Amino acid sequence: MLADLSSADLSGSSNVGASGVAIPGDKDLQRSEGFARLLLAGSAHGTRIVDILQRSPIRIMFPGIRGAPVEEAVVVNTAGGIAGGDRLELDATLLANASITVTSQAAERVYRALSEPALIETRLKICKAAKLAWLPQETIVFNGGRMRRNTEIEISAGAELLALESLVLGRAAHGEEVVGGQIADGWQVRLDGRLIWADRFRLTDEVFPRLRSRALLADFKAIGTLIYFGPDAQARVQLLRDLAPHLQCHCVTTTVSGLVITRLAARAAAELKAGLREILLQFGRTQVQGPFRMPKMWSC
């Protein structure tokens, strides 16, 4: 039966196994189509929610003290993970003078798919004088998981952004080795409508047997990309380069069209998370106010 399951065709529809029994594909099973839209603006009393729309399984929570300004938003996937064929979308727009950290409740999990990839679309827009820290926790891809993730960011001159996406291959606690699946992880960043950076990381079943070569990931199982745009770009570059030798993970930083790009890699998720924590703690110490610090949810 296990052999039959692995033979499901790429169309995502039912396949017939050797026993003559129809085997469901991802399209035949119940799948999630979640959506959330968040619109924030600045005010004399801090950041306020202008509009919010959410469709299960995505929920956005705002932990904090009643009556206090909105400082952190937490994205929750009530489905408990992502399966093949799921589609999750999130749009967040920050109007002038809005300032917020957006994170996730916990590490996301991409389960083994029969055939179809899960689609994850994130669109962020940061207007002039707004500040956004997009800092979700890591995404863990199980063996056989299939995922297509795309992060589109629109920045206006005078805005400030810190954005992170990270991937972990397999569950370390289970000794899992990811030997197959499909991962496509892309970024597009535009400044006042002009594309200033695009990037894509792609793994397929054909690549996994060679993934541990030194030219690819070697023995790293956790990787991340952290980008920054704002008035303190050169100071941030120097901070990140000074920190790199002291982190538990590997870390290199460069700049492209005014965008600071940091790549991180570690042999284990805990090492990557420790490195990111230290970076965000240092960011927080250099800025008295603003969202560029470690999210409270990371300590829960």
Print the domain residue range for 134: 25-293
pLDDT digits (tens, 9 = 90+) for 47-102: 999 999 999 999 999 987 666 778 999 999 999 999 999 999 999 999 999 999 99
Confidence of residue 295 (pLDDT cuts 50, 70, 90): very high
Residue 282 located in a structural domain: yes
User: Residue 6 has what pLDDT?
Assistant: 33
Half-sphere exposure of 159 (CA within 13 A, CB side): 30
Residue 278 located in a structural domain: yes
User: Residue 20 has what pLDDT?
Assistant: 56
Percent of the chain with pLDDT over 90: 78
pLDDT digits (tens, 9 = 90+) for 155-200: 999 999 999 999 999 988 788 889 999 999 999 999 999 999 999 9
The count of domains in the chain is 1
Residue 5 located in a structural domain: no
Confidence of residue 22 (pLDDT cuts 50, 70, 90): low
Residue 94 located in a structural domain: yes
pTM: 0.90
Residue 9 located in a structural domain: no
Residue 66 located in a structural domain: yes
Residue 298 located in a structural domain: no
Q: Cα(133)–Cα(227) distance, rounded to whole angstroms? A: 10
Which residues face 55 on adjacent strands? 35
Both ends of the chain: CA-CA distance in Å? 41
User: Residue 11 has what pLDDT?
Assistant: 40
SS (H, E, C) the chain: CHHHHHCCCCCCCCEECCCCCEECCHHHCCCCEEEEEEEEECCCCCCEEEEEEEECCEEEECCCCCCCCCCEEEEEECCCCECCCCEEEEEEEECCCCEEEEEECCCEEECECCCCCEEEEEEEEECCCCEEEECCCCEEECCCEEEEEEEEEEECCCCEEEEEEEEEECCHHHCCCCCCCEEEEEEEEEECCEEEEEEEEEECCCCHHHCCCCCCCCCCCEEEEEEEECCCHHHHHHHHHHHHHHCCCEEEEEEECCEEEEEEEECCHHHHHHHHHHHHHHHHHHCCCCCCCCCHHHHC
Residue 14 located in a structural domain: no
Q: Nearest-CA neighbor of 231 among 164, 287, 154?
A: 287
Confidence of residue 17 (pLDDT cuts 50, 70, 90): low
Ranges 13-22, 48-57, 115-124, 242-251: which has the least confidence: 13-22
Percent of the chain with pLDDT over 70: 89
Q: Cα(200)–Cα(218) distance, rounded to whole angstroms? A: 19
